[in-house]
Amino acid sequence: MKDYFDKNLFQQVFNSNEFKGWLLSKRWFGDKFLLSDLSFEVLIKYFSVISDQIFLTIIEITSQDYTKSYFLPITIYDKIQDILEPKENTRVNVVKLTENTFSKIIALSVHDNQKEKILYLNLIEAEYCALFWKKILFDKKISESFPLMSMDLALYTDQFNDEINMTKVRTLIEASLYPERYEYDLKQLGGGNTTNLVFLLNIANNKYPDQKPTSFVLKSYKEYSGSLEPKKLFVLVKNNFPNAPKIYGTIKLQGRETIGVLENVPNVGNLGDIYWNELNTMINSIFIKIGDDLSSFDDKKSMSTYIKEFCKHSIKVSEKIGFQIKQLHEGLVLQGDPLYSIETVQSKDYLKNYTEKLKSMVNQIQINMSKGSEQAFYKSPKIGSILIDITDIIEKFLSEFERERIKIQPVHQDLHFQQILYNQINDEYTFYFIDFEGDPQLSEEQKKQKFPVEKDLGSFLRSLSYIKFNTLLKFIEKEIVDKERFEVPAEFLYNIYFKKSSKLTRRHKKLEAALNLLNLWENKLMGKILEKSLNLDFTLINFFTIERVLHELDYELLFRPENIIIPIIGLKEIIDKY
């Protein structure tokens, strides 16, 4: 039956509405709002067979005035157990892979047979199975045919001088020469919430069963535009920057990076876990302890004591992370490489262009809001006035900016808490910056541009605000709303900012007390983060913070309108401050 699986058959399947719907369900498939009516075309621009079950494709999504391409390797199977390694054949994994499978019954007319052939097609993104990685990385016959498939495997052996990393690269090479000597164990990273597919691959040498497996992070760059990450990681290695995963190699398809082989850095979680856990512990513990006595929330000193008691680790990492971000920016500059140099530009022209960009974003959000239901709360005049006021704030920042020139350079572009992993040994922390693929909201050309370092700080500090309000919504749901009346936490949060009453109920006083504590927490930690970062311009930070919040607002409006309250209040806080 597999003889019938050729490019023409896949082209027919890929352009079906069922497959388009499957694509729209994928986290990495962008522009869902624009394409949700399924009126787009799916064209196979590249097709290659690397085994009986694995096919490499590049698909191009086209619609009116729209084109985007994706790297989509796929695996087909009759029984899912046929494509699994022994360690993968667990109930949990089988269920997960089955849920991610696209299935379709196909009727084929065969020239030498009067009857139709009925094919049962099950396909899954190939990266989910170790079989794909064994073939693409460690099958010598396939790697030798890479030139015929317009593919190129590059291992960066020349950049490592230390024995540990050289050993890991040698393991990659040996596994490609003698794959039968190793066992492979695959685990998805990121909980499926990443825009690219990321996996942890453990390679164990059968000759040394007691030896610790060698681990690699494998990343599939789904958007077929050439990722910036491998080069940025290479620059950081060249600059001996220790706080990012090293890049061991890449696979290019028709000259563009599609797969990266990265170092598996030791970590116990992302930076946001520290802030989130301590903040929620503080809020829950304090309000249980004090009961109905809210007097301590009238005293800033008492609230500061709460923060020092419950948020020790948050304070400690905040004191360190600002300096780490500064070192990251220094590590992204490579002398002699014009693409990774520091430049100075005229601030007037730069900020004028940026102001127009932000105003254009506001205008697009206003258009999207106008398409919503008349009953949607974001169509109220008070919400509409926020977008008008934020435009005035942007113009104010532009008119009051005094520096004649601004420095721009390569930056992370999408720096937030989940992009920083941490490892903890006793009370000492080590941080690792990950995901250097650029701002997902920018076009391919825009991602290649340089920015002030304040872009990363604006994005990073916004993470504090998001944690603050998510914590507050959780607190409202637990402590404030009347569940028998089906009250909504977001409505209470909206009322405290937009419908303040002269007569406050006990519930509203409790909510305001929690908000006062959370605001003090945010300001205190923000100060700790910024105090080690010298020569930052706060107007620029505000520009990029507004940009980040507008991106959040646009995203939540299109895909998660129930969460729109958080970016709306984020803009409200900026307006109230200025």
Model confidence over 511-528: pLDDT tens digits?
A: 888 999 999 999 999 999
Q: Is 163 within the bounds of a domain?
A: yes
Residue 201 included in any domain: yes
What is d(CA 248, CA 165) in angstroms, rounded to the nearest whole number? 9
The rounded percent of the chain whose pLDDT value lies above 90 is 61
pLDDT at 105 over 60: yes
- For residue 219, being part of any structural domain is answered with yes
Contact (Cβ atoms closer than 8 angstroms) between residue 528 and residue 275? no
- 186 shares a domain with 96: no
Q: Measure the CA–CA gap between 75 and 130, rounded to whole angstroms.
A: 11
Strand 214-220 relative to strand 197-205: parallel, antiparallel, unpaired? antiparallel
55 located within any domain: yes
Cross-strand partners of 260: 219, 250
- The β-bridge partners of 249 are 155, 261
Distance of alpha carbon 128 from alpha carbon 199, whole angstroms: 8
> Which of helix, strand or coil describes residue 124?
strand
Q: How many residues does the chain have?
A: 578
Q: Is the pLDDT of residue 2 over 60?
A: no
CB of 465 within 8 A of CB of 420?
no
Tokens 């350079």 belong to 409
The mean pLDDT value for 4-27 works out to: 91
Residue 58, SS3 per DSSP? strand
What is the value of pTM for the model shown? 0.90
Average pLDDT value for residue range 363-389:
83
Report the mean per-residue pLDDT for the chain.
89
Q: Which of 70-84, 395-409, 437-451 has the lowest mean pLDDT?
A: 437-451
Does 180 share its domain with 136?
Answer: yes
Using the 3D structure, point to which of 228, 247, 263 is the last residue of a domain.
263
Q: What is the pLDDT of residues 331-351, one digit of tens each?
A: 999 988 999 999 999 999 999
Q: What is the DSSP letter of 224?
A: T
Average pLDDT score over residue span 194-205: 91
* Count of domains forming the chain: 2
33 lies in the same domain as 78 = yes
Mean pLDDT of 435-447: 87
pLDDT of 375 over the 80 cut: no
Quick: pLDDT tens for 108-120.
Answer: 766 655 566 777 8
| pLDDT of the residue at 509 | 83
Question: Is residue 83 one of the residues assigned to a domain?
Answer: yes
Q: 184 and 71 in one domain?
A: no
pLDDT tops 90 at residue 320: yes
Closest CA to 176 of 211, 216, 212: 216
Determine the pLDDT at residue 382: 84
CA distance 401 to 512: 34
Residue 328 and residue 232 in contact, taking contact as beta carbons nearer than 8 Å? no
What percent of the chain stands above pLDDT 70? 95
The Cα 476–Cα 497 span in angstroms is 14
- Residue 1 pLDDT: 47
Containing structural domain, residue 151: 132-263
What gap in Å lies between CA 266 and CA 38, rounded to an integer? Answer: 42
The model's confidence at residue 413, banded by pLDDT at 50, 70 and 90, is: very high
pLDDT above 50: residue 487:
yes
Quickly state the pLDDT bin for 132 (edges 50, 70, 90).
Answer: very high
- Tokens representing residue 521 in the block: 């927490």
Residues 9 and 100 in one domain: yes
Position 534 scores a pLDDT of: 64
Please give the pLDDT value at position 471: 94
Secondary structure (3-state) at 424: strand
| Residue 114 confidence (pLDDT) | 59
Interior angle at CA 497, CA 495 and CA 498, nearest 5? 65
Is residue 181 domain-resident?
yes
pLDDT tens digits, one per residue of 349-372: 999 999 999 999 999 888 888 877
Residue 41, in any domain of the structure = yes
Among 214, 229, 263, the domain boundary falls at: 263
Asked if residue 290 has pLDDT above 80, the reply is no
* Amino acid letter, 156: Y
Region 199-222: what's the mean pLDDT? 92
| Whole-number Å distance between alpha carbons of 322 and 303 | 24
Say yes or no to pLDDT of 376 above 80. no
CA distance 197 to 261: 12
Burial class (CB in 10 A: 0-12, 13-18, 19+), 384: middle
Q: 93 and 73 in one domain? A: yes
Whether residues 117 and 73 fall in one domain: yes
